[in-house]
A and B are shown apart, each in its own frame.
Chain A
Amino acid sequence: MRVALFVTCINDLLQPRTGRAVVALLERLGVTVEFPEEQSCCGQPQFNTGYRQATEPLVRRFDRAFRDHDYVVTPSGSCAAMVRDNYPRIGAKAAAEGRGRELSDAAALAVPKTYELTEFLVDVLKVEDVGAYYPHTVTYHPTCHGLRMLGLGDRPRRLLQHVKGLELRELPGAEECCGFGGTFAVKNAAVSAAMGADKVRHIAATGAEAVCTVDNSCLLHIGGTLTRQGSTVRPVHIAEILASTEGSVL
C-alpha cells in the first residue's frame, strides 16, 4: 500500500503542524507515508469563485503527483470534496468544450483513491481507537464539506470518543456553517462575520478548552474570530488530537 499525503496549500504554508501530525499518526499505525513534492493546491479557491479553467493545470498536477499511489490521504474535508465532487465536473466540461478526455481521465483516477483523513482511518485502516491521548475537553464542529459533500457522518466523532483523556462536548447548532466559505468571507464580509460570531458563541457555550474540525480553512476563520473576541478556546485540527500520545501531547 503506497499512501501519499496530500497536505494542501493552506496546511503547507500556514498549518504545517497538521501535516506533521498526519505523518506521525499514520506512521504510528504502521503506514508508510510518502510526500510527492510535485503536489500543490487542489484549486478549490479558484473553482469556487468561478475560475474553472484556471484550475485545470492543478487537476493535471494532482494527477502527476499522485498517479503512482493507491491512496491519497488529506487532512482536509473540503480539499477531498474538491477532488471527489468537482474534478469530474472540470473534466466533463473540458471534454464538452473540446479539450479532450485528459482531464476526465485524470479525475477518474483521482476520485476513488482520495480520502479525507478520518475516512481513511475508519474505512480503509478500519481503526477507531488510534491509541491517542489528549487530556482536554473538546467540542467538534462538523465542517460543511465534510458533512454534506463527503458524508463523513460520525466517523470523526467516533475517533474522538476513543481518545483517552478526551471529554467530548456537544456543540449546539453543530451542523450550521461557520461562515468561512473561501472568498465568501471577503465578498460578503458582514454575513460571514455574523455567522462566525454565532458559531463562536455556541463554541463558548460548551465550555470546552478546544474546538476541533477536519478542516483548517474553517478553523482559521473560527480561530481568527475567537482571537478577535479574546476567547481562550483553542482551535485544533483533529489530526493533532489523534496524533497526540501519552508521550507527546501536541
Chain B
Amino acid sequence: MSGTYLGMPAFPRAADVSTRDTRLRANLTHATHTIRDKRAAAVAELDDWAQLRAAGAAVKDRVLRRLDHYLEQLEAAVTAAGGQVHWAADAEEANRIVTALVRETGEREVVKVKSMATQEIGLNQALEDAGIRAYETDLAELIVQLGDDLPSHILVPAIHRNRAEIRDIFRREMGRWGRPAPEGLSDSPAELAEAARLHLREKFLSAKVGISGANFMVAETGTLVVVESEGNGRMCLTLPETLISVVGIEKVVPTWQDLEIFLQLLPRSSTAERMNPYTSTWTGTTDGDGPRNFHLVLLDNGRTDTLADTVGRQALRCIRCSACLNVCPVYERAGGHAYGSPYPGPIGAILTPQLRGMQGPLEESLPYASSLCGACYEVCPVAIDIPEVLVHLRERVVEGGPVTRGGTRTVVKPARGHAAERAAMRAAAWTFDHPGVLRRGMRLAARTRRLHPRRLPGPGRAWSRTRALPAVPAESFRDWWRRTRGESPSGPTGERGAGE
C-alpha cells in the first residue's frame, strides 16, 4: 500500500471537504446508525454491563500501573514457550526488526491479519521498500489495500466504500496482486466475498511468513489472543512457518481469567455480537502444529510517554472496539481519513496527539475535533472519559505545559496561532470577574443593539453563514432585577472590592 497519513491537513480543513461529500456521508450515516442501534441492544441484554465495564477499566488500570512487571512476566512466559521477544521503542525500530526477521526467512511475501499496530508504524510501506510484499487478508483491509487507500474505521476499514466501488476495485486490481476477480463479477455481497476468498486462499496456502497483531496478551502464560469475524486471521496464524506478532505494550492482561471480562465487552461493543465467531490464541511454538518460529515485537511508539500523563493515560485502556466512532456525530460527518491516523474518531482524537506528540497542525487540531457531547464516554466499554482527555489536551495546545517525550520530561510551548484566542479568552474571563465592567459592556451592547451585524467577519464568518446571530435584548437580566426588585447598586453584594 502506498497510501500514507503523512502530511495530512489539520482536521477542520479535511472535515470541511468530507462534509460536502454526500455519498460518503450517506454511507457513514447508514453504517454507523445501524451498528449503534445493534450495539445498544446487545449491551442491554446484560444486566451487569456497568459492573463489567468497571471491571474492564480496573484491569486495564492495574496493568498500566505495573506495566513493566507484566511485560517482563509476559516476556519470560513467551520465551519459555519457545517464542522470541523483541522490544521496539518506536516505529522505525519495529519496522527494522520485522523486516530483518522476514529477510532471515528468505521470503519475499508475507500474509497479514488485520493489525492496527502495523498500520500505526507503516509496516507495509517499510516492507515494500525492502522488496517484500505484504498481503492483507482481512476483507475490508484487502479492499483498502487494493484500492491504494487508507483505512477510515477501526473495525470496518473500508466503511467509506460502497459495494459498487468495491466491485470496481476488485475487477481492476486483483489481477495485479494474484488471482484476478472472476469474469462478470457483480456487486452482490456473496459474489464479492467469494472473489476475495478465492484470491486470498492462494495466498494463505503459499505463504511461509504471517504477520499479525493481537487484541490481548496474557502475561501468566505468554499467550496472544486475536478476536475476529472472518477466520482469515486464524489461517494467517496457523499456516505459515514463521509468525511475527507486532503488539502495543498496553495490550497485556495479567491472567486468563481477565479475558473473561474483555471477551464480553469487546464483541458486544464492537460488532454487537454476543460472541465473536473466531477467537484464536497462540502460545510460543508447538512441535508439529502451527508456526515453527514465533516472534513477538512489543511496540512502545509513544505509549510510555502517554503513560506518564496522569489524565491522558486512560487512552491506553482502549480495546479498539470502535463503539466511540459509531456514536460520534463528528466522525459521522467528517469521515475517518480526516483524523490522519489509523485511529479515527474520538479515540483517535485523544490517542494520536499523545502517541505522536503535538508535532504539527494535525495533532494540534485533533483535540478540538469534538463538540464534547459525551456520547463516546457513554458507550466506551472501558470507561475512557474521552471528553476529559480532549479538554486536557486542548490545554496543552493553547497553554503548553509539562509532557514526557522519548522518556524525558520537558515543557512544551503553546501551539502557534492561538495568541488572539488566548488574549480574548483571558480578557473575557477578566471581564466576567469584574461585574462593573461587565455591566457597562452589556449596557453598551444593549444600547447599540440595532447596529450589530447579523453576520460576523473573520473567524466567525463560517458560523454566521449557516446560523443567524441572536439580537441583543434592550435590558439585561441584572438590570431588570435591579429595576424591578429595587436593589441598591452598592448593596451588600455590590461590586466594591471587585478591583475596579
Our verdict on whether A and B bind, yes or no, reads yes
Contact (Cβ within 8 A) A190 B16: yes
Contact (Cβ within 8 A) A58 B433: yes
- Segment 67-122 of A: residues with Cβ below 8 Å from B: 89
A190-B12 CB under 8 A given contacts A37-B487, A38-B493, A52-B395: yes
Contact (Cβ within 8 A) B15 A40: no
Q: Which residue of B lies closest to A12 (CB)?
A: B477
Contact (Cβ within 8 A) A145 B374: yes
- Segment 397-446 of B: residues with Cβ below 8 Å from A: 397-399, 421-422, 425-426, 428-430, 432-433, 435, 438, 442, 445
Contact (Cβ within 8 A) A185 B463: yes
Binds B, one of A130-138, A158-166, A191-199, A205-213: A191-199
Contact (Cβ within 8 A) A11 B435: no
Q: Which residue of A lies closest to B310 (CB)?
A: A96
Contact (Cβ within 8 A) B15 A188: yes
Is B4 in the interface zone, CB < 8 Å from A?
no
Contact (Cβ within 8 A) A149 B368: no
Is A201 in the interface zone, CB < 8 Å from B?
no
Q: Which residues of A contact B334 (CB under 8 A)?
A: 191
Residue-wise, chain B 469-500 has the 8 Å CB interface mask toward A (1 for contact) of: 11011011110110001010001011100100
Q: In the bound complex, what is the Cα–Cα distance between A19 and B19 (angstroms)?
A: 37
Question: From DSSP, what is the main secondary structure of chain B's interface residues?
Answer: helix
A193-B477 CB under 8 A given contacts A38-B493, A181-B371: no
Contact (Cβ within 8 A) B481 A49: no
User: Which of A37, A47, A148 lies in contact with B491, CB distance below 8 A?
Assistant: A37
Q: In the bound complex, what is the Cα–Cα distance between A189 and B11 (angstroms)?
A: 11
Contact (Cβ within 8 A) B371 A192: yes
User: Which of A36, A37, A55, A191 lies in contact with B19, CB distance below 8 A?
Assistant: A191
Q: Which residues of A contact B481 (CB under 8 A)?
A: 19, 35, 37
Contact (Cβ within 8 A) B442 A13: yes
A43-B445 CB under 8 A given contacts A37-B495, A145-B374, A148-B378: no
Is A140 in the interface zone, CB < 8 Å from B?
no
- Segment 38-57 of B: residues with Cβ below 8 Å from A: none
Q: Closest CB of chain A to B64's CB: distance in Å?
A: 19
Contact (Cβ within 8 A) B476 A12: yes
Q: In the bound complex, what is the Cα–Cα distance between A220 and B433 (angstroms)?
A: 24
Is A237 in the interface zone, CB < 8 Å from B?
no
Q: Which residue of B lies closest to A9 (CB)?
A: B432
Is B460 in the interface zone, CB < 8 Å from A?
yes
Q: In the bound complex, what is the Cα–Cα distance between A196 and B438 (angstroms)?
A: 30
Residue-wise, chain B 133-174 has the 8 Å CB interface mask toward A (1 for contact) of: 000000000000000000000000000000000000000000
Contact (Cβ within 8 A) B372 A13: no
Residue-wise, chain A 222-243 has the 8 Å CB interface mask toward B (1 for contact) of: 0111011000000000000000
Contact (Cβ within 8 A) A188 B470: no
**Sample of 24 A–B contacts (CB below 8 Å):** A11-B477, A13-B442, A13-B472, A15-B470, A16-B475, A16-B476, A37-B493, A40-B438, A41-B432, A45-B425, A49-B394, A50-B367, A50-B394, A50-B395, A50-B396, A51-B398, A51-B422, A148-B373, A176-B329, A179-B371, A185-B467, A190-B12, A193-B466, A223-B468
Nearest 9 interchain pairs by C-beta: A181-B371, A50-B394, A189-B462, A224-B467, A177-B373, A148-B374, A144-B373, A16-B477, A227-B468
